[in-house]
Structure 1
Amino acid sequence: MTIQDQHLRRAAVVYVRQSSPIQVRDNIGSTMHQRSLYDTARQLGWREDQIIVIEDDLGVSASFGSVRPGLEKILRMIEADEVGIIFSSQITRLFRNGVDGERVIEYSEVMNVLLGDHNRIYDPNNISDRMLLGINKIFAKQDSSMLHERSFSAKKALASIGEFKIKCPTGYVRIGALIVKDPDKSVRDAIDKIFRLFREEGSATGVTRRLAIEVAESGGVTGYIPTRLPTGVEWVIPYRSRVFNILKNPTYAGANSFGRLTIKKRIKDGRVYKSVKKNVRQDWFSLHMKKHEGYITWEEFLTNQEKILGNTYNFGGYSAGSPRTGNNLLQGLVICGGCGKHLYTRKLSVSRSLYQCRHSETSRYTNCKDLYVNGLNDIIFNEIRQQLTILNVEAVENFEDVLLLEKSKARITRDDSIKGAKNRVTKAEKAYRYAVENIEDGEVSSEIVKNLLKEWEASIKTLRSVENSEDFETAKDPENFTQEERSYLKNILNDLDFIRTSDFISNKDRKELIRCFISRVTITKSDDHKIEIVWSSGRNTVIHMPLTQLKYEKSFIDSLRKLSLTMTNKEIIEKFNSEGVKPLRGRTFTRLLLKSIKRRYKIPSLPR
């Protein structure tokens, strides 16, 4: 293809791209090789002031459908008839995404723009060059697909035997093929603190709040959490997403997992986009436990995931969400019998609140009604007390058998603890010896060797303490229980009265207690409130509660009806508030409240 004057009158664009920030950092030679096309353009006849090097896409991948600002800039320049030729180190650099590649070819054909690389120049208007561009585009797609398939197959093969090298999260480092805890004690303590706070708070938001308070009270000295960057560990602000990622990562439970994420494709605005979707645990490709020392046990990890899932407010399902501090003790547990959706709570005043259905004001669900709290909390506590009274007699009678079983379980737990401690000693010794063998090559620092030696010694000390521990034999023999202790067990339900009325117990703690017994409560409103309690054991209890609707006195309604004949709404509001008349909701009358009362009792307003 002969370069014509119409091409030389326009600009020559050199397109430089690397697929990731890591490539930009490490593959400096590739970037320099792409920039050398500047000299190629000058040799072919373009002046220096006509050559434009576009590097906006350094570190931007083309395979995930993401918008490449550099490529978009080139296309806008082609539309403005400012480009005569586009240079790329390989013409396939423009075709990683099929849609983008086709756009470049079509734009270039319409505006008579050439395409070039280090080997040759292509003219999209020439049928032979157009065919070569199409073939290159197909081969580029095939090459990318084959590389991805081979790479993924190799990963799956390693993952199936638990040897896939997972990315070390913050709190771990890799020494050869081994994953060990970070030698920096401050990093380990920070990760331990997150899991400890989650045991206390029960939610990621609670952990984040505690850490933020600690940052504020310490003046920024403590409370930050570590995150691993290519340059090392950095201490950052405790955002909820960072805490959440730590709590959700099975690596902290000593597991090696693969297949937690799936790439999902979608089409939007004529472009193919790829997003990352998290799989449920049953859909993971592989999961191998006890591959390295964890910060928590696998059992605690599973418990944490159930708690996190339960904290998610899902009004379409039966997820109750995390307990809060409001007066409605059944928050998150109450379901509308009309539409089957969760009722949400609404505070009317200091002492009054209601459970409200989102469909109560629509005509589609005629059975959805609001439920005002008037003794419902007391009814639920009394029902719990009644159920526990029945169960407690049986529990005390069978308590001796339970204790014997617990002692048997304690002995099994002791054997498992000793076995786990021995495994940790073996792993710590293996990591230390590997570090000693590689310290001369500079692969491992002397500081890491010292820390690994300390961990080895600590694991040996832990093993000895477990072997000599008597904690597993402290279960009390049934015959040692006195009559006084048995009587205490039978009267323990009296504590429920203290929990219900004491100012020292928060509403959040009361809600936690109720959730130990009750799975959900369905309320259907007709002639009365039909309350169906589903207990954690699966049994049901049905209670009928009289309707308690907030109603104004007849004298007040008659007075309002009479005033509406001669006064406007504004004048009525001023009169009621000045005379100290209190509404059933709120502290003073407002325009919206007065209109609501008139609409409810069908009181017409004074015509304007």
Structure 2
Amino acid sequence: MPHELITPSHLARRAVIYIRQSSPHQVLTNQESLRLQYALRSRALELGWHEADIQVIDSDLGLTAASAQHREGFKELLSQVTLGQVGLILSIDVTRLSRNCSDWYPLLDLCGYKQCLIGERDGLYDPGTPNGRLLLGLKGQISELELHTIRLRLTAGLLNKAERGELALTLPVGLVREPQGTVVKDPNREVQARVALVFETFLTQHSAAQVVRVLREQALTLPRRDRFGDITWRRPSVASVVAILRNPAYAGAFVYGRTRTERSGPGPQHARQRRLPINEWKVCVKDKYPSYISWDTFERIQAMLQDNYAEYDRNKTRGIPRPGQALLQGLVYCGVCGHKMVIQYKGGAHYLCNYLRQQFRESVCQYIPANPIDEAVIAAFFAALAPVEFDAYTAAMAERHRTQQALQQARAQQLQRLRYQLALAERQFLQVDPDNRLVAAELESRWEQALREVRDAEQALAQETSCTGASETLDPQLKAAFTTLGQQLPTVWDQLAREQQKAFLRCLIDKVVLQRTASDQVHLRLVWKGEQVTTLDIPLPVGSLAEYAQGTAMTERILALFAEGRDDAEMAEMLTREGFRSPMGTTVLPSTVKTIRLRHGCLQTRHQSHPRRIVGYLTVPQVAERLAVPRHWLYDRLHNGTIELAPDPVTRLYLFPDNPSTLEQLHQLREGQLNRVRFSQEHQDA
């Protein structure tokens, strides 16, 4: 019997049955709910609609109603209501339509405007009437609240289980969960050894990229899990190595909430996962799993990974040591503004503070050459290291022996696995029916591939073993020479690579603060590990004597020493002992003394400088001064032949006759009254 709200205009349009379940799991398991929703067709027939006018929309099966953005069936329903084609929307209950009020109320407005009824299994409502809209609005709010209540209830249970460390999260490779729920190490010893090798290599090389390089040089693969959870062996990559190094499960800790979802807008495409620091993890239960490394080692590895960012200026980390010339990369801070200084290699290595220029378009804060800073820091580093002596040869050989043993063990385990795969391929090939050529051909190909892999692994292992044996035997003469070289680091410093030198400096130095106190001097504050501080004043090279802070005092001292009859070399040595230096050097050069002396007209021998006046003649500067013309005006015409005059063979100067006619002719040449002038050569014949 038709309902009192149903009119002929409703029956003239379509009845749409909207079917939805929240997840694919519910679609497979909640079959009774699915049957009840499809049975709403009989409900539409009871309300007066014909079979041909009933449409079922079930394209949203397995999708949540928390948002309408990803539900194509709901969008299709809205479009039909907008076009006025729907007279009734039927659902098992209104929560099937939406669990979000921002999607629910626009649907009510649209249905009220288009006179479309909304029905469920036990009721029928008209959104265009106050009572209908009130009831539907309450149902929508309850539906949205119910979704949050369910989520909070489930999340509370999940967190409660996680706080006990009993939540069954996906375990990384190297750890497996037994049927009774106990977590143990993978029984495959090769998997255990390869995971341990990654941590050992990183603690030696201090870089994930270097771990990948070592593994690839040794032709070693890494165990990874495929999408089915099975172990597969793949070529190592930086991402796979970092995934192992960052996983706290290897340190025996159960961790939940290592990431946080941040949304920049509605919809899943605006959500991104942000990795949280250790102190912000939601749950961390230590000593829950069997560990490959200790928790202290894990924290040290995380600090090293954070410190290894190349963008150390942006992230305020030191960065990994690199082969650049500047030794204090990532350690230098500006003493003026306090920001980290970067390195610029244009025109030589320099430490540059350009933070204010980047942020506020102001001028560069400081621009300091790197070489004198590095030399002073190295000297301070050696002074701090002098009391600490160590046997470099023994330490290096012991570390190398441990690394080679770990790599050889990894190769041997890999060879053992390949031999098992070879035996398995052989058994599979021998068990196949010979007449089944399609299968036999494929198994034969796998057998041949396994044979090649075993042969290559055996050859590589044999070659590595021979090389290791040769490297472990050191020539006695070479060992004696190494011992004679000494046990202190300064003696072998120049033989180290730049990366190694930087790594040594970082062992003791926390940061270096630079502040230019004068154009030729920098105040350096060296902060050591343990917060000890060393301050130094470092001289910097400058381009001229005017930029040298002690230039005036050094000039006065040079004039005083010249009056005492000192020569240039003697004055340079005395000035160096007194603390002076040349603008571009660390000592006073005799050439600097000579330049200053000549600039003040202090001549030690007369032949060092041309006489200023020659009787009966005028030099080019003298003529230029009397004519009020630049000197190059005369030199240009002397070179192009407009003024014909040969240089004097004794002084090699252009000497003009000192008489009024000379100046008159040159004046007429300048005014354009003469095209060429020629002067006598009598002074050359004298």
What's the TM-score bracket when you normalise by the shorter of the two chains? Answer: 0.5 to 0.7
Aligned to 1:182: 186
Distance across 2 between alignment mates of 1:142 and 1:160: 26
Aligned to 2:511: 520
The secondary structure found in structure 1 opposite 2:323 is coil
The secondary structure found in structure 1 opposite 2:356 is coil
Match of 1:492 among 487, 511, 515: 487
Deviations 1:135-163 (A, max 9, x none): 22232233333333333333444444444
Matches within 5 A, 1:6-405: 9=13, 12=16, 14=18, 16-19=20-23, 27=29, 29=31, 33=35, 36=38, 45=49, 51=55, 53=57, 55=59, 61=64, 63=66, 67-70=69-72, 73-74=75-76, 77=79, 81=83, 84=86, 88-117=91-120, 120-175=123-178, 176-184=180-188, 187-188=191-192, 191-207=195-211, 213=216, 223=221, 225-227=223-225, 229-230=227-228, 232-233=230-231, 240-262=238-260, 268=265, 278-312=275-309, 313=311, 315=313, 318-348=316-346, 352=349, 354-360=351-357, 368-389=365-386, 391-392=387-388
**Superposed displacement of residue 33, structure 1:** 4.7
Contact 2:252 2:292 in 1 (8 A): yes
**Superposed displacement of residue 304, structure 1:** 1.2
Contact 2:22 2:65 in 1 (8 A): no
**Superposed displacement of residue 178, structure 1:** 0.7
Distance across 2 between alignment mates of 1:197 and 1:34: 61
**Superposed displacement of residue 535, structure 1:** 0.9
Structure 2, unaligned stretches of length 5 or more?
A: 392-482, 545-629, 631-686
Give the direction of change, closer, same or farther, for the CA distance of 1:184–1:365 in structure 2 (3 Å limit): same
Give the % identical residues.
Answer: 23
Contact 1:12 1:83 in 2 (8 A): no
Contact 1:187 1:226 in 2 (8 A): no
Matches within 5 A, 1:429-578: 492-493=487-488, 495-499=489-493, 501-502=494-495, 505-527=496-518, 528-548=521-541
Give the letter aligned to residue 180 of structure 1. V
Give the letter aligned to residue 492 of structure 2. F
Which shows bigger deviation, 176-185 or 302-311? Answer: 176-185
The secondary structure found in structure 1 opposite 2:296 is helix
Distance across 2 between alignment mates of 1:80 and 1:227: 50
Distance across 2 between alignment mates of 1:236 and 1:112: 62
Which shows bigger deviation, 109-118 or 146-155? Answer: 109-118
Give the direction of change, closer, same or farther, for the CA distance of 1:370–1:17 in structure 2 (3 Å limit): farther
Deviations 1:404-449 (A, max 9, x none): xxxxxxxxxxxxxxxxxxxxxxxxxxxxxxxxxxxxxxxxxxxxxx
Distance across 1 between alignment mates of 2:543 and 2:39: 80
Aligned to 2:607: none
Deviations 1:186-210 (A, max 9, x none): 6545544443443344234544566
Contact 1:367 1:525 in 2 (8 A): no
**Superposed displacement of residue 81, structure 1:** 2.4
RMSD value, Cα: 4.5
Give the letter aligned to residue 306 of structure 2. L
The secondary structure found in structure 1 opposite 2:321 is coil
Deviations 1:343-383 (A, max 9, x none): 2223337x645545243578765571223333433322112
Give the letter aligned to residue 133 of structure 2. R
**Superposed displacement of residue 299, structure 1:** 2.5
Distance across 2 between alignment mates of 1:346 and 1:7: 79
Deviations 1:66-94 (A, max 9, x none): 94253674477258627625555542144
**Superposed displacement of residue 536, structure 1:** 1.0
Contact 2:92 2:121 in 1 (8 A): yes
Give the direction of change, closer, same or farther, for the CA distance of 1:97–1:174 in structure 2 (3 Å limit): farther
Aligned to 1:436: none
Distance across 1 between alignment mates of 2:36 and 2:233: 37
Distance across 2 between alignment mates of 1:23 and 1:90: 16
Contact 1:262 1:278 in 2 (8 A): yes
Give the letter aligned to residue 281 of structure 1. I
The secondary structure found in structure 2 opposite 1:320 is coil
Distance across 2 between alignment mates of 1:88 and 1:324: 65
Contact 1:368 1:525 in 2 (8 A): no
Distance across 2 between alignment mates of 1:15 and 1:524: 72
Deviations 1:151-187 (A, max 9, x none): 3333444444444444433433322221123345565
Contact 1:13 1:83 in 2 (8 A): no
Contact 1:338 1:366 in 2 (8 A): no
Distance across 2 between alignment mates of 1:368 and 1:34: 74
Aligned to 2:608: none
Give the direction of change, closer, same or farther, for the CA distance of 1:89–1:286 in structure 2 (3 Å limit): same
Contact 1:320 1:331 in 2 (8 A): yes
Give the letter aligned to residue 140 of structure 2. K
Give the direction of change, closer, same or farther, for the CA distance of 1:307–1:12 in structure 2 (3 Å limit): same
Which shows bigger deviation, 70-79 or 510-519? Answer: 70-79
**Superposed displacement of residue 516, structure 1:** 0.7
Give the letter aligned to residue 388 of structure 2. N
**Superposed displacement of residue 251, structure 1:** 1.5
Give the direction of change, closer, same or farther, for the CA distance of 1:16–1:520 in structure 2 (3 Å limit): same
Give the direction of change, closer, same or farther, for the CA distance of 1:83–1:233 in structure 2 (3 Å limit): farther
Give the direction of change, closer, same or farther, for the CA distance of 1:371–1:353 in structure 2 (3 Å limit): closer
Contact 2:78 2:107 in 1 (8 A): no
Give the letter aligned to residue 128 of structure 1. N
Give the letter aligned to residue 18 of structure 1. S
Q: How many positions carry a matched residue from both structures? A: 444
The secondary structure found in structure 2 opposite 1:392 is coil
Distance across 2 between alignment mates of 1:365 and 1:253: 48
| TM-score normalised per structure 2 | 0.54
Distance across 1 between alignment mates of 2:38 and 2:172: 39
Aligned to 1:413: none
Distance across 1 between alignment mates of 2:306 and 2:515: 27
Aligned to 1:558: none
Distance across 2 between alignment mates of 1:514 and 1:261: 35
Contact 2:485 2:491 in 1 (8 A): no
Greater relative contact order structure (CA < 8 Å, 6+ sep): 1
Structure 1, unaligned stretches of length 5 or more?
A: 397-487, 552-561, 563-608
Contact 2:183 2:289 in 1 (8 A): yes
Contact 2:526 2:535 in 1 (8 A): yes
**Superposed displacement of residue 117, structure 1:** 4.9
**Superposed displacement of residue 518, structure 1:** 0.9
Give the letter aligned to residue 382 of structure 1. A
The secondary structure found in structure 1 opposite 2:366 is coil
Distance across 2 between alignment mates of 1:547 and 1:490: 33
